[in-house]
Amino acid sequence: MTTRRSRNKGTRKIGSDYVVAIPSYKRAETLRDKTLTVLAEYKIPASKIYVFVANKEQEELYRSVLKPGSYGHMIVGVPGMANIRNFITGYFPVGKRIVNMDDDIKGFLEFSSSARRHEIPLQSLDSLIKKGFSESAKTGFRLWGIYPVANGFFMKEGATSDLKYIIGAFWGITNPGPILTVTIDDKEDYLRSLIMYVLDGGVLRFRTVAPKTAYYKEAGGMQEERTKNRVTKSAEALHAAFPNLTKLNATKKSGYLELRLRDGREEDEKKFGPDILKEYKMPKV
């Protein structure tokens, strides 16, 4: 793994434990049958699991659907993807180790060079999480994640620490507090990747593991409000906000306008930290 020492020195004073935060909206059955089932299969203690719902009505629905003992805490937050992400950041103390998961995770694949398709089911989710935070503490890069495509032919050994997209389906962070505030619902994971890269000088992405999930296809959740036009506007807004760190890509099979993340600055121009982040205007849609 290629790493660079972060400019942030405060990330070493962190807690010894982690929590799992799952925002969910109008997908109680999905959460029950997928992500919570997966966490139980990997023996992640229910006491670590926090489910965040949009309002009291949703809380009542979720409590009636979810299996007792499959989660430890249910928190009434706020509606909207950006809003709930920021709510979760504010809910936990600065320095807390938080694993964020979507509610429709069906499992995880792990790279194996000896397997027929170069992939096997992930052996230990807890070990992955602990490794993520351990490497995060060593490098000072507070945001870490996994490979976005569940295909062993694309996955590799090791990890990267340059500017990479950290997919929102599953990611870990040592909570930086309100300096991490996302301002768009679509592509908020791209924005978070950019913010944390500018703050810390790198983000960690493990190439050996990927989540099994159905991007853009699961009913409920963000699909309730996502439109191709809004996704396009979000991509354009991100590119306008971070022109030297992004490129637009209109050739994705999904049909959505996507971003590519790449630090296009000259080496002597690559500076990081809170003051550098202030030079960028956060996108609005």
Burial of 169 (0-12, 13-18, 19+ CB in 10 A): buried
Q: Using 50, 70 and 90 to split pLDDT, how confident is the model at 44? A: very high
Comparison of pLDDT for 217 and 141, the residue scoring more: 141
Burial of 201 (0-12, 13-18, 19+ CB in 10 A): buried
Whether the per-residue pLDDT at 118 is higher than 70: the answer is yes
**Hey, how many other C-beta atoms are within 10 angstroms of the C-beta on 45?**
11
Whether the per-residue pLDDT at 277 is higher than 50: the answer is yes
Q: Using 50, 70 and 90 to split pLDDT, how confident is the model at 40? A: very high
Residues 226, 186 contacting (CB under 8 angstroms): yes
Q: What is d(CA 196, CA 201) in angstroms, rounded to the nearest whole number?
A: 8
Whether the per-residue pLDDT at 245 is higher than 50: the answer is yes
Q: What is d(CA 136, CA 214) in angstroms, rounded to the nearest whole number?
A: 28
Average pLDDT, the chain: 91
How many residues in the chain? 285
Q: What is d(CA 79, CA 92) in angstroms, rounded to the nearest whole number?
A: 18
Question: By C-alpha distance, which of 272, 14, 5 is closest to 134?
Answer: 14
Predicted pLDDT of residue 224: 54
Burial of 254 (0-12, 13-18, 19+ CB in 10 A): exposed
Average pLDDT over residues 187-195: 98
Top-tier CATH class for 16-213+224-277:
alpha beta
Q: What is d(CA 236, CA 71) in angstroms, rounded to the nearest whole number?
A: 38
Q: What is d(CA 227, CA 223) in angstroms, rounded to the nearest whole number?
A: 8
Burial of 59 (0-12, 13-18, 19+ CB in 10 A): middle
Strand intervals (E) in the chain = 18-23, 49-53, 73-76, 97-101, 107-111, 119-121, 143-146, 159-160, 170-174, 204-206, 209-212, 246-249, 258-261
Average pLDDT over residues 65-90: 98
